[in-house]
């Protein structure tokens, strides 16, 4: 029987960091493309450290004013 690699100890896993006070960190399997639990695992995983997930987001800051910032020239 093949050994099981837990998701929290797999290099194919990514950690999407939570933000604010209520959002927890979430583990995502980069092979399956969905959320996994820390105790989940499989026999196809690669032992190692999970990486930090990078998510693109669209932000429109046109017409906004920042306070307490310097203008860089």
Q: What is the pLDDT of residues 18-40, one digit of tens each?
A: 877 788 889 999 998 899 987 89
Measuring CA to CA, which residue among 22, 55, 21, 50 is closest to residue 38? Answer: 50
Q: Is 0.85 surpassed by the pTM of this model?
A: no
What are the boundaries of each domain within the chain? Answer: 5-52
In degrees, to the nearest 5, what angle opens at C-alpha 6 toward C-alphas 55 and 52? 20
Which band of pLDDT confidence, cut at 50, 70 and 90, is reported for residue 71?
low
> What residues have CB less than 8 Å from 53, skipping those under 6 apart?
14, 15, 16, 17, 28
């Amino acid at each position: 029987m093949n050994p099981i690699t837990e998701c929290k100890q797999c290099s194919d896993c990514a950690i999407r960091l939570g933000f604010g006070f209520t959002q927890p960190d979430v583990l995502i399997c980069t092979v399956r493309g969905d959320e996994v639990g820390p105790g989940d695992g499989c026999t196809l995983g690669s032992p190692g450290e999970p990486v930090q997930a990078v998510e693109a987001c669209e932000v429109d800051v046109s017409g906004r004013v920042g306070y307490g910032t310097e203008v860089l020239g």
